Structure 1
């Protein structure tokens, strides 16, 4: 069949048009790729060629209230490999095996991976700077050092349960390290380079460095000095009493700020693997629940005073040693009872039948209303993980016996943080504050405070007038009652003892107790409140004997640190038989030896140092208050 010239021309025309259109489309596409999408395509290509070496951000420091570092970072480089750049994998593995403490076969396997970069772990992680330099000095192709750091706790186990600790990748695992992990962590940085398909660095390409963004620094309400004082006393208590555990909290009653919080057993944050998980995973001051015993009587006292149910000074109560309630005989701790006494003496003597009477006068609705208003039965909201609620009777469970036992702190369960928070409200003017340990967030480079925690008032529980009466009664407990061993000469101390039987296998144990003491000072204007609880101390098991002296020791050192000055006016201590009286050291400087012995009396013993006839120095200095019979050391020299 013969094709006509017209048909040929048409076909050539259509072919030409198609080629023109195709060529135009190609030009448009190339123009788009070059002029419009070029940057994006280039970026995608570079992304596929790019290899990153990560740089960890510095984790934010944790500081005490005065800026002392409690947790910070120290340099700890990590060794990485870029497998494609490693020329002799077997020889490289051999040279690295010694310094890294890893097997040659394991390293060879890692160096043979088809990955852009490999972390040589575990031996290559968190090294010292010296070890990293040793490895760099080998000049092994494809082996690089990635800057890294690890957490350091300079005061070892100080506030360990509060601070918590981090894992191998600097991630928070417990305590504040976990609570505020995101803010403390910051954001990673990296060094990026371009590599071909074989992993070789492209010639004439430049590295890109994206600096890490360091985490924020966290400043606490914790005072390192007061925390150290508390830790010292916790260690001493465990050594002396061989207890199951010891708990202590020191707090500003007017704000809710925690000055110190600790417990035993404890651990070192960077060696947490050396202790059982329950030791580091349970912050006892906020986790442990137990029957509080007589420290809970402060709540009953405050409620009775607020409701006008008792006149402490003029109303009397007779204690035969027990009180019968609902067919049960509830006994006083003192066999035979205290006899006739004022209700102020009921408080001083921690008389159970007297407090049962106060609970009965209030009734279950009123008493439990105040208990809940003081914060019991629910979490305080402190900014730490692991807080428990405690256990209260449900209203339908409260009969005459339950009402009576609750009034003196038995049958209910509380946490230490609830106890100290509630008592703070009872003695600070009636204000319940939310406790907290995080004071502010700080920008690490500039030192600028970005966010600050303000004291949070939860509610007004009792009136300032009631609170004043509670303080005065509790000061008498220390000066003249069961809290005598917390008496601190020069400081007006108030407080309350607690001795509670432990429940073992569903029954109250006659041999196991939790003994406690809560104290505050100055009694007329509280600046510090301290709570100590000792679980099952060996030997004597009374709060006034075991826990009260611990609180006294903490306050003796913490109050001067807080700038609370001693005073001469305080409720006179009622000394019991055998207790040493407190006397004032006289000024002996300038006296001759002959005058000295004529003027001295049985209040002191003398120890001399040096030669001469005149006292040139003495210790303790004049005006100090010491126990009667204490030794005064005098230094003798020649008179001027």
Structure 2
């Protein structure tokens, strides 16, 4: 019916129908879209919202404690602040980065570059900040700054135990030393931290995450003795300064158990460095090898303690090589040859030994292979094979040239002499402990040793070596009332392919007490400039260490057996 009596035109009728159909289609599309969002795509949308409202962060691993033999903590993990930013929320990047540079040491330019280049809603600035005053950052009114707390490694005694313990990286994974060797035992993953974005865009840990407990890794108890480590480190450092040496090394170990009680390097290797000077650096030992040569010769029957030897009055020319002694001897006994460190006599002993017997004897004492202490980077040293020998090689071996040994190998060889001829593998680990109760989870006991010489030969050599300290080149180590068996060593170093008269390795190795040794102590100074011989610069360090040990209620047991303690008391 037309309005006002006029018929409705077909065009208007189609227009109305079209508008109605379009409106209906629109409403149908909206309904379908709502259905899709509310039903079919609901989970996907919820995940997107969560992704924008929550941030997941992988926390640093946490590590178990490392203790000394008495349970004193040497390394532990503590909570420390970590700082990150939400680049979108940063209000004043320049202001923030100036404070970051002042507090965290991250250059402001680098901080700005990282914020500008960030693709996500979170990036780390610095993690595990320890030993730094962070109050300026903590009080900064910057909505984009995010502060968390993570566990980081702290070494209670600074660098004192660094040569043994090693270090961890910024990711809290072991880089060197026991930290690397025991990484799988000490490290537990830190887990994931869930942070929620507030209505204003700030990131905060969720309540559930804040209350979640973290797994505590087991603790490792070492064989080290903190007081002895401290004494040895102090006296070695004093000796390095006096001698103006480039570095100093020292080891103290129990010969019967292989337990390392002190493990010192001055200066210590840089934190994070894989360099382990006590096990990875090899030196020509010089005269400290002579007791080993004497033991091999006695065992082989080519010499007896009562024999009179030819000292050639301190100068012997053989095969175009001239061998010279600092203290000329005419017809010394083996005791005198050791006491005054005769190169001439020991070159002859090296020459008299069959080559196969000489090489087998040297290798039996552990030279030419890693000791097995378990520290990363341990070197085998250099012991030429028989087929690599030159005619003069046995001569030079006699007084410690032509082969290279690590300080730990040398200490272990003397430990075999001290242990009546039985070589025991050195060890730094004693037990794995439950962190909260201290219950022993696993024990690392001494391993059975290997006999390298007879007990009789070992005792003879020790008795001969007392003359070194009583009357010979090691007189500066002498302490009245204490019998010390030891040997000095002075070895020229190769510089540009030639032996230098200015660059030396000066050493002294002692076994105390001489009759029944409880401790072997090695002292080595590298390139001393004030004095060059082991008797001059290394022996006094040993004397100072032992003197301080005699005053210690625990450490004195290494020096005084019941019989020597009685003699000391009666005197």
**TM-score of the superposed pair, with normalisation by structure 1:** 0.72
What is aligned with 2:181? 179
**Does the 8 Å CA contact 1:78/1:127 hold for their aligned counterparts?**
no
What is aligned with 1:476? 467
**Does the 8 Å CA contact 1:77/1:129 hold for their aligned counterparts?**
no
Change (3 A) 1:95 1:510: closer
Change (3 A) 1:43 1:370: farther
- CA offset digits 1:111-134 (Å, max 9, x no partner): 995635433x14x762679736x7
1:250 Cα deviation (Å)? 1.1
- 3-state SS of the aligned residue for 1:78? strand
What is aligned with 1:310? 303
What is aligned with 2:91? 90
What is aligned with 2:423? 432
Alignment of 1:619-634 (within 5 A): none
CA–CA distance in structure 2, aligned partners of residues 562 and 201 of structure 1: 55
Change (3 A) 1:241 1:193: closer
Change (3 A) 1:52 1:624: farther
Correspondent of 2:134 among 103, 128, 131:
131
What is aligned with 2:14? none
CA–CA distance in structure 1, aligned partners of residues 381 and 319 of structure 2: 26
CA–CA distance in structure 2, aligned partners of residues 150 and 104 of structure 1: 27
CA–CA distance in structure 1, aligned partners of residues 510 and 482 of structure 2: 12
- CA offset digits 1:570-614 (Å, max 9, x no partner): 8xxxxxxxxxxxxx9xxxxxxxxxxxxxxxxxxxxxxxxxxxxxx
- 3-state SS of the aligned residue for 2:251? strand
Matched, 1:291 2:294: no
Matched, 1:73 2:77: yes
Matched, 1:385 2:376: yes
Question: What is the root-mean-square deviation in Å for CA atoms of aligned residues?
Answer: 3.8
Alignment of 1:113-512 (within 5 A): 115-119=120-124, 121-122=125-126, 126=129, 131=134, 144-192=146-194, 207-208=208-209, 210-266=212-268, 269=271, 280-312=273-305, 314-320=306-312, 321-334=314-327, 337-512=328-503
Change (3 A) 1:141 1:327: closer
**Does the 8 Å CA contact 1:54/1:146 hold for their aligned counterparts?**
no
CA–CA distance in structure 1, aligned partners of residues 109 and 292 of structure 2: 68
Alignment of 1:550-589 (within 5 A): 550-558=541-549, 560=552, 561-564=554-557, 566=560
- 3-state SS of the aligned residue for 1:302? helix
Tell me which moved more, 107-116 or 55-64.
107-116
What is aligned with 2:36? none
For these two proteins, the number of residue pairs brought into alignment is 520
Change (3 A) 1:128 1:467: closer
CA–CA distance in structure 2, aligned partners of residues 624 and 146 of structure 1: 64
**Does the 8 Å CA contact 2:128/2:152 hold for their aligned counterparts?**
no
CA–CA distance in structure 2, aligned partners of residues 543 and 315 of structure 1: 27
What are the ranges of 5 or more consecutive residues in structure 2 without an aligned counterpart?
1-38, 102-106
**Does the 8 Å CA contact 1:83/1:113 hold for their aligned counterparts?**
yes
1:440 Cα deviation (Å)? 2.2
Higher relative contact order, chain-length normalized (CA < 8 Å, sep 6+): 2
What is aligned with 1:9? none
CA–CA distance in structure 2, aligned partners of residues 461 and 543 of structure 1: 27
- CA offset digits 1:372-427 (Å, max 9, x no partner): 11111121122212222221222123244211211221221111111111111122
Change (3 A) 1:43 1:294: farther
1:47 Cα deviation (Å)? 8.2
What is aligned with 1:617? none
What is aligned with 2:6? none
Correspondent of 2:66 among 62, 69, 92:
62
Tell me which moved more, 403-412 or 54-63.
54-63
**TM-score of the superposed pair, with normalisation by structure 2:** 0.80
- 3-state SS of the aligned residue for 1:318? coil
**Does the 8 Å CA contact 2:66/2:220 hold for their aligned counterparts?**
yes
CA–CA distance in structure 2, aligned partners of residues 109 and 386 of structure 1: 36
- 3-state SS of the aligned residue for 2:304? coil
- CA offset digits 1:250-281 (Å, max 9, x no partner): 11111212111222233674xx7xxxxxxx54
What is aligned with 2:31? none
Change (3 A) 1:470 1:128: closer
Tell me which moved more, 489-498 or 52-61.
52-61
What is aligned with 1:37? none
1:140 Cα deviation (Å)? 6.1
**Does the 8 Å CA contact 2:294/2:461 hold for their aligned counterparts?**
yes
1:187 Cα deviation (Å)? 1.4
What is aligned with 1:601? none
Tell me which moved more, 303-312 or 419-428.
303-312
Change (3 A) 1:507 1:103: closer
1:298 Cα deviation (Å)? 1.1
Tell me which moved more, 245-254 or 205-214.
205-214
What are the ranges of 5 or more consecutive residues in structure 1 without an aligned counterpart?
1-33, 35-39, 273-279, 571-583, 585-622, 626-640
